[in-house]
């Protein structure tokens, strides 16, 4: 029986589809849902920067990080693409991660999922997803087949492939 599901999200289109799948499964099974996002390490992909701009996540992040200063469009996307050691970049990436899981949680709650917990982690994407699965003792992991990475041509992304091969529970990859 599946009573606990882990959903891995990164803000990509496949992660949004995985969110809908996890919400449907959790709702029908009455399962608890754990949503995990692993923060970008190194330079975030162009797709994350674009998604953050389009969905106004950067503006929302600015309001959290610098509430007393006026938001200047195009000021934060440059930080996202800049040096990962810059404390402003790290703060923005953290807030974006929190926004990504918050949006996934809202989307799942709107679809009737009752018990939802979220976590934002740092480290190797696949390893952190696998660790979260162990920590929460889940019966299933739901993950997008490809995320925000640059290798669009692969059938199964490297993170989802690693999770699929090393998970101790069932894994659903969503395209």
Helices (H), the chain: 13-29, 46-54, 57-65, 75-80, 87-110, 125-136, 158-166
Nearest in space to 150 (alpha carbons), one of 42, 3, 6: 42
Model confidence at 155, pLDDT cuts 50, 70, 90, reads: very low
130 or 155, which is more confident:
130
Where in the sequence is the domain holding 131, given as residue range(s)? Answer: 4-174
Contact 28, 162 (CB under 8 A): no
Query: What's the whole-number mean pLDDT along residues 83-105?
Result: 78
* Model confidence band, residue 93 (pLDDT cutoffs 50, 70, 90): confident
Q: What is the pLDDT of residues 35-80, one digit of tens each?
A: 999 986 554 545 555 555 545 565 666 566 666 766 555 554 454 5
Contact 133, 169 (CB under 8 A): yes
Q: What angle do CA 126, 91, 127 make, to 5 degrees?
A: 10
- CA–CA separation, 69 vs 90, rounded Å? 18
What is the count of structural domains for the chain? 1
Q: What percent of the chain has pLDDT over 90?
A: 50
**CATH code for the domain in which residue 145 is found:** 3.40.50.620
7-42 pLDDT tens trace = 999 888 889 999 999 999 999 999 999 999 998 655
- Amino acid 43: pLDDT: 47
Residue 88 has pLDDT above 60, yes or no: yes
Q: Which of 55, 172, 38 is nearest to 107 (CA)?
A: 55
């Amino acid at each position: 029986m599946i009573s606990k599901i882990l959903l891995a999200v990164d803000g990509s289109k496949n992660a949004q589809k995985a969110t809908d799948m996890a919400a449907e499964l959790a709702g029908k099974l009455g399962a608890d849902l754990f949503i995990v996002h692993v923060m970008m390490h190194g330079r975030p992909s162009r797709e994350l920067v674009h998604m953050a701009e389009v969905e106004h996540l950067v503006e929302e992040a600015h309001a959290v990080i610098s509430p007393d200063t006026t938001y200047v469009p195009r000021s934060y996307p440059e930080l996202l693409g800049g040096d990962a050691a810059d404390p402003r970049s790290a703060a923005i990436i953290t807030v974006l991660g929190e926004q990504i899981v918050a949006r996934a949680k809202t989307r799942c709650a709107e679809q009737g999922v009752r018990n939802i917990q979220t976590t934002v982690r740092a480290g190797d994407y696949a390893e952190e997803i696998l660790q979260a699965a162990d920590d929460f003792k889940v019966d299933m992991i739901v993950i997008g087949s490809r995320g925000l990475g640059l290798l669009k041509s692969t059938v199964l992304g490297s993170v989802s492939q690693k999770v699929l091969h090393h998970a101790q529970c069932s894994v659903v990859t969503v395209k």
